[in-house]
Copies of this chain bind each other. A is one copy, B any other.
Amino acid sequence: MKKYIGCDLGGTNLRAGVVDPTDGKILADRSTPALAREGHEAVMERMAALMEQVITDSGLPKSEFGGIGIGVPGLLDLKNGLTLFLPNLSGHWKKVPLRDTIANKVGLPTFLLNDVRSITYGEWKFGGGRGVDSMACYAIGTGIGGGIVVGGKLHMGVDGTAGELGHQTIDFNGPKCGCGSNGCVEAYASGPAIAAAGLKVVTQGATTKIGELAGYDLNKIDAALIAKAANMGDAIAKEIYERAGEALGIAISNTLVTIDAHKIVIGGGVAQAGDLLLEPIRRTIKKRVFIMPLEEVEVALAELGGNAGIIGAAAFAASQVEGE
């Protein structure tokens, strides 16, 4: 099978890699920083150049390449290959013909995909979700994104917007969410939500290692630092992860009663907390899901880390060109 290029268009980094879609191996990759302030024309120019570079890096002729997949952080018009709204990029990329521009510049068939759906696809094909015909991926970082695989296919929904699992309401009286609704699981268990819980206990003067580890600099309190405190045995830090895991467990229970996924893959930076998060998730599911055979459901960590996006975007492009 031909090789494919996977590209991750992020708010702070642009990354492209050459991927073998038969095993998900990355044969070459490069990234460049700081795109948020550049206009879309300049960014697309740099994307194309980066792709040409990784093609050169791989040592393979362009004829050995089957196509390009781009993971995009925002709303898309898939039919016309346009970006509609990318909240973290300069000018928000309204109706930018990203697909055709890159296809023309690089000379390869190009496919767009939401960035978290790229991660989902990568984890399903080669990571924590491989081998199952239904799964849900929760990517927990600044926000909570997701994606679902149903009946052996990545489910796209209207313009690839299916799988926004972070915006399930778990408490209709709950706190405001960035999306405009309230009580979304993202408002309980995203990185900033976990950090805010840590900030709160420190400013309230609770006895916790969180403040100590941060040297009492409140700006240093983040989800990773709280996980560190929890792993040192700090009861309050553990409790913060317990609450976040419960919130995630409730959202995952809703996913399970809806699509009955065999596997739930937890990724993103916050997932580095590992069992601090997975244990309360598993306990919560057992307390909430009674009408399906839970023994066939596994909750696992993502396995591809920061590579999931480019691997998934490339493998998705391969599936579009060559069939599943």
Instruction: Kindly state whether residue A151 has any CB partner on chain B within 8 Å.
Output: yes
CB within 8 A of A167: which of B181, B261, B291? B291
What residues of chain B lie closer than 8 Å to A20, measured between beta carbons? none
* Cβ-closest chain B residue relative to A136: B258
CB within 8 A of A165: which of B257, B288, B289? B257
CB within 8 A of A169: which of B75, B253, B259, B262? B253
What residues of chain B lie closer than 8 Å to A287, measured between beta carbons? 181
What residues of chain B lie closer than 8 Å to A181, measured between beta carbons? 253, 287-290
What residues of chain B lie closer than 8 Å to A183, measured between beta carbons? 171
Interchain CA distance A293-B180 in the complex, whole Å: 15
Given A151-B155, A161-B293, A259 and B257 contact (CB-CB distance below 8 Å):
no
Instruction: Kindly state whether residue A307 has any CB partner on chain B within 8 Å.
Output: no
Instruction: Kindly state whether residue A42 has any CB partner on chain B within 8 Å.
Output: no
What residues of chain B lie closer than 8 Å to A229, measured between beta carbons? none
* Cβ-closest chain B residue relative to A174: B171
Interchain CA distance A49-B296 in the complex, whole Å: 37
Interface SS of A by simple majority: loop
Instruction: Kindly state whether residue A179 has any CB partner on chain B within 8 Å.
Output: yes
Task: List residues of A (153-181) whose CB comes within 8 Å of B's CBs.
Answer: 153, 155-159, 161-165, 167-173, 179-181
Most chain B CB atoms below 10 A, which of A134, A181, A261, A291? A291
What residues of chain B lie closer than 8 Å to A161, measured between beta carbons? 260, 291-293
Instruction: Kindly state whether residue A255 has any CB partner on chain B within 8 Å.
Output: yes
Instruction: Kindly state whether residue A103 has any CB partner on chain B within 8 Å.
Output: no
Number of copies: 2
Contact mask for chain A residues 275-303; partner B; CB cutoff 8 A; 1 contact, 0 none: 00000000000011111110011000000
Interchain CA distance A292-B296 in the complex, whole Å: 31
Given A150-B151, A164-B257, A169 and B292 contact (CB-CB distance below 8 Å):
no
Given A153-B151, A159-B293, A250 and B164 contact (CB-CB distance below 8 Å):
no
Instruction: Kindly state whether residue A148 has any CB partner on chain B within 8 Å.
Output: yes
What residues of chain B lie closer than 8 Å to A250, measured between beta carbons? 169, 172
CB within 8 A of A290: which of B168, B179, B261, B297? B179
- Expressed in whole angstroms, the minimum distance between the Cβ of A98 and any Cβ of chain B is 18
Contact mask for chain A residues 169-201; partner B; CB cutoff 8 A; 1 contact, 0 none: 111110000011101000000000000000000
Instruction: Kindly state whether residue A53 has any CB partner on chain B within 8 Å.
Output: no
What residues of chain B lie closer than 8 Å to A148, measured between beta carbons? 258-259
- Expressed in whole angstroms, the minimum distance between the Cβ of A75 and any Cβ of chain B is 7
Instruction: Kindly state whether residue A254 has any CB partner on chain B within 8 Å.
Output: yes
CB within 8 A of A292: which of B151, B164, B258? B164
What residues of chain B lie closer than 8 Å to A180, measured between beta carbons? 290
Interchain CA distance A293-B156 in the complex, whole Å: 13
> Which chain A residues have a beta carbon within 8 Å of chain B's beta carbons?
75, 134, 148, 150-151, 153, 155-159, 161-165, 167-173, 179-181, 183, 246-247, 250, 253-255, 257-262, 287-293, 296-297
Pull 5 A–B residue pairs with CB atoms less than 8 Å apart, ordered by A.
Answer: A161-B260, A161-B292, A162-B258, A171-B172, A171-B183
